[in-house]
Amino acid sequence: MKIEMNFRDLPKRWEKHGDMIIFPQNTFTHQNWKYIGREIWRVVAESLKVARLGRKRVIDERTPHVDLLFGSDGWVEHVDERGIRYIYDASKRVFNIDKTREMKRISEFDCHGEIVIDMYAGLGYFTFPFAIACCAKRVYAIDWDEDTVEALVRSRSGNGVDEVVEIIQGDARRVCPQGVADRVYLGLVPSCHAHLLTAARALSPQGGIVHVQESIDTKKPRVIPKRKPMLKSVSKLESVDEIGVVPSTSVEKKEKEIENGGRGHSLYLLQVVLQL
C-alpha cells in the first residue's frame, strides 16, 4: 500500500513541559498520518527523548485544549527560574508562559507577615511566588475549576507550603474571605472590574493593597467625551494675591462706587467673599 505524505504539516516548533512535548494544533493533521498507526508517536517520542506527546486543540487557558498522543497521562512538572514547581495535567491545562514576566515582578515583593488572597489562582502563577519568593504569612488561592484545584493541591505539596497556602474552590465572589487580607491579587483578564467590590471587602479593617491585572487595547484610540457646560459664563473676577487680599486699586474703586450712592456694594462684597 502506497501512502502519499504531506510534510507541510510537520512541526517547526513545539513546547516542552517536563518530559512532555506539545505540538501546535496545525501539525500532524493530514489524514494519511492515521494510516501509519499510533506506533509513529512512540518513534517521535524516542527521537525527541521525551516520555509523552500532546497536540494543542484549542488555545484557551481555562478549558481543555491538548490531546494526548503518546503516554499514559498528562501530568507534568514545570520548574521556573526561582525553583518554584508547578504540577499540572497538560492535557487539561497548559502553563501560560505569557504570565512569566508578571510572575517575576510579583516575586520581588516583600510580603513578610502579610495575608494575601489570589482570587483567580489558576495553576498558582502568583499564589506560589507570594508564598515562596515573597514569604507571605498566608496565601488564599481561589479557583472554581476542579482540575485546576487538583493541580494546585499537587503543586502546594510539591513546594512544601501546605501550612502556608489554603486552597478554596468556588466562585471568588461568593467564597472569598472578608476582612482579612493585606493584599488581594486580581488576575482575571481581560477585566476585573466586576470583582473590585469583593476585593475591597477582603481587605482587613486597617486597609491594604489590591493588585489589578487587566488587558488594554493600545491600538484602539481613546475617545474622551466632551463635557457640557453646566453654568453660564460669568465675567472674570478680579485677582487676589497669595494671602487673599484684593489689590488696593480695586478696593479704592469699589469704595468710590459706594460713596457715589452705594452702587455695586452688594457685588463688591460678593466678589471679595468668592476671592477669599
SS (H, E, C) 88-100: EECCCCCCCHHHH
pLDDT confidence bin for 224, thresholds 50/70/90: low
pLDDT at 37 over 50: yes
pLDDT at 139 over 70: yes
Alpha carbon distance 195, 119 (integer Å): 9
| Mean pLDDT, range 97-117, rounded to an integer | 93
- pLDDT top residue among 39 and 135: 135
Q: Which of 111, 115, 117, 151 is nearest to 133 (CA)?
A: 111
Contact assessment for residue 77 and residue 94, using Cβ atoms and an 8 Å cutoff: no
- pLDDT top residue among 271 and 15: 15
pLDDT at 201 over 90: yes
Predicted pLDDT at 265: 44
pLDDT at 258 over 60: no
Residue 126 C-alpha cell reads as: 502568583
pLDDT confidence bin for 230, thresholds 50/70/90: low
Predicted pLDDT at 32: 74
Alpha carbon distance 76, 63 (integer Å): 17
Long-range pairs for 195-198: beta carbons < 8 A, 24 or more residues apart = 195/119, 198/119, 198/172, 198/173
Alpha carbon distance 106, 157 (integer Å): 21
- Side-chain-facing half-sphere of 12: CA atoms under 13 Å: 4
Alpha carbon distance 176, 69 (integer Å): 38
Of 42-56, 66-80, 164-178, 251-265, the least confident: 251-265
| Mean pLDDT, range 65-73, rounded to an integer | 85
- pLDDT top residue among 120 and 270: 120
pLDDT at 242 over 50: no
Q: Which of 60, 53, 58, 63 is nearest to 19 (CA)?
A: 53
pLDDT at 222 over 90: no
Predicted pLDDT at 233: 53
